[in-house]
Amino acid sequence: MTLSVKDVAELKGWSTRYVQMMATAGKLKCTITTNKNNRKQYAFAPEDVLSGKQLQEYLQRQKVVTLDKPIRRNVMDTYTASERLEIDFWRNLIEEWDGYRTADTGRKKMDIDREFEVLCRLRYPERNISCKTLYRKRRALKTGDMDSLLDKRGQHVKGKSGIDEQIWQAFLSYYLDEAQHPIKKCYEYTLMWAQTVCPDLVADIPTYTTFYRRVRQEVPEAVEVLGRYGEKAYKDRCAPYIKRIYDDMASNEWWIADNHTFDIISQGDNGQTHRLYLTAFFDARSGIFTGCYVTNAPCSQATLIALRKGILKYGIPDNIYVDNGREFLTFDIGGLGHRKKKRKDGTEPFSPPPVFARLGIKMTNAIVRNAKAKIIERRFRDVKDHLSRLFETYTGGNVVERPEQLKSVLKSGKIPTDAELTAAVEELLDWYFNQQPYGGAVAADRGKTRIQVYNDNLHSVRKATADELTLMLMRSTRPQKVTRRGVHLDISGQRLDYWNHEMLMTLLGKQVYFRYDPDDLSEVRIYDLEDRYIMTVPVDNTAVLKYGASKDEVKAAMQEVRKAERLTKEALRRSGLPAYGRKTALELVMQQARENKESNPKPIKQPKVIRVQRADEQPIYKQAVGGVNLSTMTRNAARKRGGQDNE
């Protein structure tokens, strides 16, 4: 027996078009066929579209006699643990009853059953067991009807709801919205919607408590997070993630870089208090810090300094994993990545080979706004918990974590200087953090120190001399046209000109770019736009030589702000942190770091395979033997003019 679209519409109080739409969308269970006129025919089972009360009324009108439900022979796995205990109870009790009856053959079975009934009521007073109950359970066991052994009172409505499906879908449209309406408001909005769209259903809408209970029971957490908090929250909290495999990873295969703000107040050379930053590189396989640099402002130059320190000690990594910060996505360091833009004509502007490419390092950027991107952030939590907390000027990560003693400590003047903090950080990272037990994902390495894991998995290393590394770590400029003043570098409002007569003789009017060492601005290396080295030209500004040959020193001299940052001198690296105040946890940890350093428990391994990284560059303008001497031509031209032109 089935219902047509018209029958369902009359029984539910809907329009026939709405019934068809619900059936097509799969929200009403039905069978769809096509007649000879190629039109769809819908057949609905009464129990699929009608609720309990509506179904009973329909069956009474149709004078349909319901048959006894068939016995359902379920396997035990379909029952819950408590239901299986209930079934076992009745099995044991019926077996005991049968044994009780067969043991006494001299009396009537009726008397024996009544006696056993009394015993059951005394033993299980909460069950109210009668002879009828025993006979009914016994018949259920013989027929295999395990459902009849269970107490089903109140279970026929369990898991069901009196909320009409159309009303429930309207409620979910308000609840699963990124506006994150409270459940109470979603219920009110649903009532308003029903009064306008389907007023005949308003009378049957249950109370707010019914909606609240159904939300908590039926709406999956993943659906709720995606609907109310968005796709990113879903990916961060509910979506499956790719588990990185570290077993086959070698040391120096992947380095991860990021910046961290110290939760420590320190004092600069000018007496001003501030919080410094840590730019760090971290080996993904072993968990050691490879290259670190303490700075007052994370920038691209701090990244290069930390990278240089790491390479000189551990070698050149194969891959670097970074986020999308400007200190990494710079045109002459890692390249612009996704920030690269094309011209209006579709062509890309010239970009010199970035530092990572010259070193043979592949850069990978983390997905934007990805909470699971870099494991170095977990190590920075260790820096906060096991380093920053050692200092009396620890500020905490937020207002709630701020220690009450901080204010009095700052007033007392017990503030570490930038130099003291830098020396402590470098020593602790090398000789305390890197010597800690390994706690990574590879179970076979548990029990070793991090530096031991690094050495055990270092199969080959790429090395470069200090001079070669300086050449490969040079910063680059964008293309410039060579003028009569050569090329220029702008630093803090001061323009430095680089030129010589040979450069003007061969390159005047041509597009070039140059590389420079920020710590030595006395000369630059000129390249053409095909990245071929041409020549090295000196600076023309005497001010550079007067104030020294450092970019930072030039900046400080022109702005007259403060001395350049020189926090990593060898003297400070050798010296320990000066003692101040009482004995603290900092002193204990520093002592442990010094003991590790003196005992040198595990030196850096030198693998058998050493790959040398070179910056092989030869000038494209080579002076031929017996050819024209450009220097001689330049001097002769200057002599004819009566001196050198310095415009």
Phi/psi at 491 (5° precision): -135, 110
The domain defined by 165-237 folds into Arc Repressor Mutant, subunit A (1.10.10)
Q: Tell me which DSSP letter residue 41 carries.
A: E
Window from 63-67, 90-94, 174-178 with minimum mean pLDDT: 63-67
| Residue partners of 528: CB distance under 8 A and separation at least 6 | 510, 511, 512, 534, 620
Residue 69: other Cβ atoms inside 10 A: 7
> What pLDDT, on a 0 to 100 scale, did the predictor assign at position 547?
42
Which amino acid is present at 560? E
Residues 296-311, mean pLDDT to the nearest whole number? 87
pLDDT digits (tens, 9 = 90+) for 564-579: 334 334 433 443 444 3
Reduced 3-state DSSP string for 3-37: ECHHHHHHHHCCCHHHHHHHHHCCCCCCEEEECCC
Domain covering 254-468 assigned CATH 3.30.420.10 in the classification? yes
pLDDT digits (tens, 9 = 90+) for 257-268: 888 999 999 999
Q: What would the two tokens of residue 84 be?
A: 């299986």
Closest CA relative to residue 425, chosen from 395, 387, 393: 387
Residues 141-148, mean pLDDT to the nearest whole number? 83
φ/ψ region of 615 (left if φ > 0, alpha if ψ in -120 to 50, else beta) reads beta
| Residue partners of 367: CB distance under 8 A and separation at least 6 | 373
Q: 419: pLDDT confidence band, cut at 50, 70 and 90? A: very high
Give strand pairing partners of 71: none
Q: 269: pLDDT confidence band, cut at 50, 70 and 90? A: confident
Please spell the DSSP secondary structure of 223-283, one letter per residue: HHHHHHH-HHHHHHHTS--PPPP-TTPPTTSEEEEEEEE-SB-EE-TTS-EE--EEEEEEE
Whole-angstrom distance, CA of residue 352 vs CA of residue 97: 93
Q: What would the two tokens of residue 270 be?
A: 């000018």
Q: 241: pLDDT confidence band, cut at 50, 70 and 90? A: low
Residue 323 pLDDT more than 50? yes
pLDDT digits (tens, 9 = 90+) for 58-91: 776 664 444 444 444 455 667 778 888 888 899 8
Instruction: Quote the crossing angle between the two packed helices 81-103 and 131-143, to the nearest 10°.
Output: 110
Residue 428: other Cβ atoms inside 10 A: 22
Contact (Cβ atoms closer than 8 angstroms) between residue 144 and residue 71: yes
Contact (Cβ atoms closer than 8 angstroms) between residue 508 and residue 532: no
